[in-house]
Amino acid sequence: MAQTKSIIELKKGEGGIITEIENGPHAQRLIEMGLTPGTFFEIRSISPFGDPIAIRLNDFAISLRLKDARGIRVEKVAQKEQKLA
């Protein structure tokens, strides 16, 4: 199994698969917004100071504060693999 990392460790244009939403005060809200394990996403933009970040998943964009995004564990997917997904 590939190593997972926090979504905030990725750079603009990188993507991956959500593997886990760590339990926390906003976990349920993130799941309700569509951030569920197995979902493909792409980092669309990162604000100048790094907070918030915008991601694209399921044909819509979501803006996430860093404190909420820290608990999203992901598996990075290479560009070629993204195109096939």
pLDDT tens digits for 24-57?
Answer: 888 999 999 999 999 999 999 999 888 899 999 9
Does the model's pTM come out above 0.85? no
Domains of the chain: residue spans and CATH: 5-84 (2.30.30.90)
What pLDDT was estimated at residue 11?
Answer: 94
Give the pairing of strands 5-6 and 15-21: unpaired
**H helix and E strand count, the chain:** 3, 6
What pLDDT was estimated at residue 84?
Answer: 47
C-alpha distances in Å from residue 9, one per residue of 12, 14, 51 = 10, 10, 12
Strand (E) positions, 10-59? 15-21, 40-46, 53-57
The amino acid at 63: S
